[in-house]
Amino acid sequence: MKALSLSLPTITATNSNLNYGSFSAASSYASLSSLQHRPSSSTTLFSMKKSVVRVQAENEDFELKQVRDMAAAKKRWEALLREEKIKVLTPKEAGYAVQLSNKPLLDVRPSNEHNKAWVKGSTWIPIFDVDNGLDIGTIPRKVTNFAMGGWWSGMPTLSFDNSFLPKVMEKFPKDAELIVACQKGLRSLAACEQLYNAGYTNLFWVQGGFEAAEEEDLVVEGSVPLKFAGIGGVSEFLGWTDQQRAAAAKEGWGYRLVFSARLIGLFLVADALFIGAQQAGRYLQEIRTH
18, 77 Cβ separation under 8 angstroms: yes
Q: How far is CA 267 from CA 128, 256, 270, in A?
A: 36, 17, 5
Q: In this predicted model, what pLDDT tens digit does every residue of 194-206 receive, in sequence order?
A: 999 999 999 999 9
Residue 48 pLDDT more than 60? no
At CA 75, angle to CA 73 and CA 79, rounded to 5? 115
Better-scored residue on pLDDT, 129 or 24: 129
Mean pLDDT of the chain: 77
Residue 21 pLDDT more than 80? no
DSSP 174: T
pLDDT at 278: 74
Q: In this predicted model, what pLDDT tens digit does every residue of 213-263 receive, in sequence order?
A: 998 999 999 999 999 998 887 777 777 777 877 777 777 666 666 656 666
Q: In this predicted model, what pLDDT tens digit does every residue of 149-183 receive, in sequence order?
A: 777 777 888 888 999 999 999 999 999 999 999 99
Question: Which residues are marked as active site?
Answer: 182
Choosing among 2.40.50.100, 3.90.1570.10, 3.40.250.10, 3.30.360.10, the CATH entry for 15-230 is: 3.40.250.10
Q: pLDDT > 90: what percent of the chain?
A: 42
Residue burial 218-231, b: 16+ Cβ < 10 Å; e: rest: bebeeeeebbbbbb
Cα–Cα dist 135/261, whole Å: 39
pLDDT at 22: 39
Among 45-54, 128-137, 219-228, name the most confident range: 219-228
What's the whole-model pTM score? Answer: 0.69
Domain residue extents for the chain: 15-230
Residue 72 pLDDT more than 80? yes
Stretch (H or E) spanning 147: none
Report phi then psi at 263, rounded to 5. Answer: -65, -45
Side-chain half-sphere CA neighbours of 221 within 13 A: 6
Residue 118 pLDDT more than 90? yes
Mean predicted confidence (pLDDT) in 177-191: 96
157, 141 Cβ separation under 8 angstroms: yes
pLDDT at 260: 62
